[in-house]
Amino acid sequence: MTTIDDLPIRDDLRGKTPYGAPQLDVAVRLNTNENSYPVPDDVVEAIGKAVQAELRDLNRYPDRDAIALRTELASYLGHGLTTMNVWAANGSNEVQQQLLQTFAGPGRKALGFGPSYSMHPLLAAGTGTEWIGALRDPDFGLSPEKAVAEIERHDPDLVFLCSPNNPTGTALDPAVIDAVLRTARGMVIVDEAYTEFARPGTPSALALLPGHPRLVVSRTMSKAFGFAGGRLGYLAADPAVVDAVQLVRLPYHLSSITQAAARAAVVHRASLLGTVEAIKEQRDRIVATLRSRGTEVADSDANFVLFRTEPDQRAAWQAFLDRGVLIRDVGLAGWLRVTAGTESETSAFLDAAEEILSAPL
Ligand code: PMP
């Protein structure tokens, strides 16, 4: 049997593992930070009509520039942003890949502060970019001083900041973003995939865009919008950044169907985003309940919670799965991550946690 090792793949890809959160058929799936609520009926109807209206024209390529969708996304973002400040692709993973292709790549370096989103180094690898894995503090915090010191030491072409950070959940102090922008010579990407779930008083990096042409804010419809299956991510930046990514984007990368469905979803955002408060309530319930039982938990501004599972997180992950609750082992020794689901999913998790975290494994 031929294996990957028998093929003439790039040397720098040999031995690497693909992104692979388990997709298991389990009753309670709280492992990929999706929105647990199905798309509401009024939005299902609107998306259906919008997609239907495209079908006869599928013989034609879609709008290469996705103008109507970008205009709708800019109106959602506010902050005085317009169509020219916004770019969209098939998930924010693709947005970030395009940014690496444009501003990093062979001979250049990207830096991130782990533990953080596991795709940042994988996207760097896929684009031939050297990855510098700087670390957050042991309590998962990141101070402006530490961020500045790492950037001065490595002089990266592109910096990834993640706020709220996956997998720890906590938003960055805006002073960190400010300090990084003042220090870095290259592009600064702030991945705000979970920003709609942030606790009150957490500012978005969108406010920093004026006067910072090397800042890019990456967003997604996969989380708060409950549109993970629709695959739509986007960025906000100076119009010059949007012009620059045109150099690497594939022609017609966003299908007519994706554009129509996503546009209908953004137009109906009031209905889609209606679940955010309920999810935040369950998130806060997980934090409060686990803490009241003496479990260490990281502060969360996201739709998930990172909690302590001494001594071995792998055994605890399996114990949750054995009880029909799929959560995430992000490879962080002694910690597991759970997505805040519906009230009943969250109860199933908390019931399992009560048994698992109090018993010696
Ligand atoms: N950024 C972060 C921090 C994420 O956690 C995720 C999804 N897990 C993404 C980006 C990518 O999401 P998508 O491609 O669905 O937009």
Ligand 1 contact via 339 beta carbon (within 6 Å): no
For the CA of 232, the nearest atom of ligand 1: 16
Confidence of residue 23 (pLDDT cuts 50, 70, 90): confident
Last residue of a domain, one of 269, 297, 314: 269
Does 152 share its domain with 15?
no
Confidence band (pLDDT; 50, 70, 90) for 24?
confident
- Tokens 């946690």 belong to residue: 353
pLDDT digits (tens, 9 = 90+) for 206-258: 999 999 999 999 999 999 999 999 999 999 999 999 999 999 999 999 999 99
Same domain flag for 91 and 53: yes
pLDDT > 90: percent of the chain: 92
For ligand 1, say whether the CB of 93 is within 6 Å of any of its atoms.
yes
* 178 and 310 belong to one structural domain: no
* Same domain flag for 107 and 175: yes
Same domain, yes or no: 157 and 197: yes
Separation CA 302–CA 299 (nearest Å) = 9
Are residue 312 and residue 236 in the same domain, yes or no? no
> Is residue 162 within 6 Å of ligand 1 at its C-beta?
yes
pTM assigned to the model: 0.96
141 CA from centroid of ligand 1 (Å): 21
Residues 64 and 22 occupy one common structural domain: no
Written as six digits, the tokens of 207 are: 């406010």
Judge if the beta carbon of residue 193 lies within 6 A of ligand 1. Answer: yes
- Give the CATH number of the domain where residue 296 resides: 3.90.1150.10
Q: Are the CB atoms for 15 and 9 separated by under 8 Å?
A: no
Are 137 and 265 in the same domain? yes
Q: Which long-range contacts (CB under 8 A, 24 or more apart) does 143-148 make?
A: 143/173, 143/176, 144/173, 144/175, 144/176, 144/178, 144/179, 144/180, 145/179, 147/113, 147/176, 147/179, 147/180, 147/183, 148/179, 148/180, 148/183
Write down the ipTM of this complex.
Answer: 0.99
- Number of structural domains (the chain) is 2
Report the chain's mean pLDDT, rounded to a whole number.
Answer: 96
Q: Cα 192–196–201 angle (5° rounding)?
A: 95
> Within this chain, do residues 315 and 183 fall inside the same structural domain, yes or no?
no
Q: Domain residues for 314?
A: 4-38+274-358
Q: Looking at the predicted structure, is the pLDDT value of residue 31 above 70?
A: yes
Where residue 267 falls among pLDDT bands split at 50, 70, 90?
very high
CATH number at residue 144: 3.40.640.10
Domain boundary among the residues 228, 249, 269 is at 269
Res 360: pLDDT: 54
| Distance from the alpha carbon of residue 186 to the mean position of ligand 1, in angstroms | 22
Q: Note the pLDDT tens digit of each residue in 298-339.
A: 999 999 999 999 788 999 999 999 999 999 999 999 999 999
